[in-house]
């Protein structure tokens, strides 16, 4: 009986807070909103001989920002998220058919520690962190 009462009480509290517009996922007393930080991954994509590969799509998580490598194989992707330890999956996809050769796709996880974030404004913006990730893509076997 006591468990049913607690479940009902919790359900009522969550429902009431939702109706009143309270967001319980992020609580900060000094201002409205949630703290955020920029996480940037940049680098170069090359083939096994060290030759830069242009035209490779680089995506930060499956829903995140995208970039395409330039003529020098360089890319940069940035995502804004909660300022804590974060792991992003950086996906490299050969989307241009045979224009630059055929390469296998690859995904590499990149982890940022909360202590790597610097330069916040003292309010909701906690700052940014940058990592360099150079990747070698393997040619597709025909």
**Is the pLDDT reported for residue 84 higher than 80?**
yes
Q: For residue 5, name the pLDDT band (cuts at 50, 70, 90).
A: low
Give the CB-side neighbour count of residue 81, counting CA atoms within 13 A: 20
Q: Which two tokens stand for residue 44?
A: 């170069």
Provide the pLDDT confidence category of residue 15 given band limits of 50, 70 and 90: low
Q: 21 φ, ψ to 5°?
A: 85, 20
pLDDT for the residue numbered 82? 85
Pairing of the two strands 135-136 and 36-46: parallel
pLDDT one-digit tens code per residue, 22-72:
555 554 444 567 889 999 999 999 999 999 999 999 999 877 789 999 999
Other Cβ atoms less than 10 A from the Cβ of 39: the count is 24
Burial 97-135 (b: 16+ CB within 10 A, else e): eeebeebeebeeebebeeebbeeeeeebbbbbbeeebeb
CATH number for the domain whose boundaries are 30-136: 2.60.40.10
Q: What is the pLDDT of residue 54?
A: 94
Do the beta carbons of residue 47 and residue 140 sit within 8 Å? no
Mean pLDDT score, 94-98: 81
| Per-residue model confidence (pLDDT) at position 16 | 61
Q: Which of the residue ranges 43-47, 51-55, 83-87, 99-103 would you say has the lowest mean pLDDT?
A: 99-103
Domain ranges of the chain: 30-136
Q: How many CB atoms lie within 10 A of CB 54?
A: 15
Across 118-139, average pLDDT: 91
CB atoms near residue 86 (< 10 Å)? 19
Asked whether the predicted pLDDT for residue 136 surpasses 70, the reply is: yes
pLDDT above 90 covers a percentage of the chain that reads 50
């Amino acid at each position: 009986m006591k468990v049913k009462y607690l479940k009902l009480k919790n359900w009522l509290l969550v429902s009431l807070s939702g109706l009143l517009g309270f967001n319980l996922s992020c609580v900060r007393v000094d201002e409205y909103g949630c703290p955020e930080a920029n996480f940037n991954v940049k680098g170069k994509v090359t083939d096994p001989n060290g030759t830069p590969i242009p035209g490779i799509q680089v995506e930060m998580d499956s829903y995140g920002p995208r970039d395409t490598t330039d003529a020098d194989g360089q890319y940069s992707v940035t995502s804004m998220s909660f300022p804590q330890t974060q792991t992003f999956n950086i996906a490299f996809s050969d989307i241009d058919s045979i224009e630059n050769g055929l390469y296998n796709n690859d995904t590499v996880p990149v982890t940022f520690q909360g202590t790597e974030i610097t330069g916040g404004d003292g309010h909701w913006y906690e700052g940014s962190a940058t990592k360099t990730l150079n990747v070698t893509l393997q040619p597709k076997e025909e």
